[in-house]
Amino acid sequence: MLSKRRISIIIVIAFLAVISLVFIWCTTSSSSKSSKLSKVYIKNQGHAQGTTYSAIYLQPNGIDLQSKIDSTFREIDLSLSIYTPNSIISKINNNNDSVRTDHHFEYVFNTAAEISARTKGAFDITVGPLVKAWGFAFGNKNHNHNQLPVVADYLPIIGYKKVQLKNHRLLKDDQRILIDVNAIAQGYTADVMGQLLEKNGCSNYIFEIGGEIVCKGVNESGTMWKIGIDKPIDDSTGTVKELQSVLSLSNNAITTSGNYRKYYYKNRKKYAHHIDPRTGYPIVHNLLSVTVIAPKGIVADAYACSFMVLGMDSAMKIYKFIPGMECYFIYVDSNGNQNVKYTPGFKKFLSH
Mean pLDDT of 193-210: 97
Average pLDDT (100-114) is: 98
**Cβ atoms within 10 A of the Cβ of 100, count?**
12
> CA–CA distance from 306 to each of 89, 112, 318 (Å)?
22, 11, 10
Instruction: Report whether pLDDT(241) > 90.
Output: no
Question: At residue 142, does pLDDT exceed 70?
Answer: no
Q: How far apart are CA 321 and CA 118, in angstroms?
A: 9
Whole-number Å distance between alpha carbons of 86 and 277: 27
The residues, ordered by sequence, that sit 6+ positions from 161 with a Cβ below 8 Å of its Cβ are none
- Identify the CA nearest to 190 among candidates 204, 180, 205: 205
The number of beta carbons lying within 10 Å of the beta carbon of residue 324 is 14
Give residue 306's pLDDT: 96
More confidently predicted of 18 and 71 = 71
> Mean pLDDT score of the chain, rounded to an integer?
84
Grouping H, G, I as helix, E, B as strand and the rest as coil, residue 164 is: strand
d(CA 177, CA 77): 20
Per CATH, the number for 75-172 is 1.10.3980.10
Task: List, for residues 260-302, the tens digit of each pLDDT value.
Answer: 554 434 445 444 568 899 999 888 888 888 999 999 999 999 9
Mean pLDDT of 5-23: 38
